[in-house]
Amino acid sequence: MTEPAEPARTAGPARRGRGRRPADEVRADVLGAAGALLLDKGMGAFTIEAVAERAGASKTTIYKWWPSKGALALDGYFHAVESALAFPDTGDLEADLTAQLRSFVRVLTGTPAGRVIAELIGQAQTDPDLAAALSQRYSGPRRELAVRRMRRAREQGELRADVDPEVLVDQLWGACYHRLLLPGPPVTEEFATSLVGNLMRGVRA
């Protein structure tokens, strides 16, 4: 087994012997391999061994950075969807939210990502370590990105001052997760557009 070692994560210059790569590079390779494996094969085939093989890294290396398979899966998932789920800021909140949510829906329904994250969330309900990893490595950071975009909109006078962006996260992305996790009508791009329209304008006759 070829096993490229990586420099220790302590301060100081990295040793660059034969077969040694900078830690950041190994880390990026592992994340890329984890994300690709998840989206190719789903959680059923996701093992530390398979990620190590795909990344050309050792299991020891992976365990040094990720305490569990679930933590690695969630980091890999975040890494894989990050660019598709960026938050645009054109100065038009409704257009930006609609575009981002439609991309989110495409990721959930047009790739295996929807089943992968549904399984991870599902397993987290009875696995406290996975629940903590889900919060720290996925849902927390994603929520923070969304809240940041909406706070800017509030500062720019696009949202009422008394509206809590945290609640909007649940009424937009949370609504999509609801249809993903509890069987219901399909998750479509039109659904995403309605979510934003309902909230921005209100539904009262």
Q: Residue numbers of the site for its own copies (CB under 8 A)?
A: 94, 118-119, 121-126, 131, 134-135, 139-140, 143, 154, 157-161, 163-164, 166-171, 173-179, 181-185, 191, 194-195, 198-205
- Shortest distance in whole angstroms from residue 191 CB to its own copies: 6
Of residues 34 and 124, the one with the C-beta less far from its own copies: 124
On the 0-12 / 13-18 / 19+ scale of CB atoms within 10 A, 98 is: buried
Q: What angle do CA 120, 46, 61 make, to 5 degrees?
A: 105
Nearest distance in Å: CB 201, its own copies: 5
**Residue 7, SS3 per DSSP:** coil
Q: Of 82 and 158, which CB lies nearer to its own copies in the complex structure?
A: 158
Taking the CA atoms of 128, 133, 134 and 136 in sequence, report the sign of the dihedral they define: positive
Q: Going by C-beta distance under 8 Å and a sequence separation of 6 or more, which residues neighbour residue 72?
A: 30, 34, 48, 51, 62, 66
Q: Which CB, 86 or 163, lies closer to its own copies? A: 163
CB of 163 to its own copies, least distance (A): 5
Judged by beta carbon, residue 17 or residue 202, the one nearer its own copies is 202
CA 37, CA 31: separation in Å to the nearest integer? 10
Distance of closest approach, residue 37 Cβ to its own copies, in angstroms: 18
CB of 128 to its own copies, least distance (A): 11
Q: Are 165 and 147 in contact (CB under 8 A)?
A: yes
> Between residues 88 and 122, which has the closer beta carbon with respect to its own copies?
122
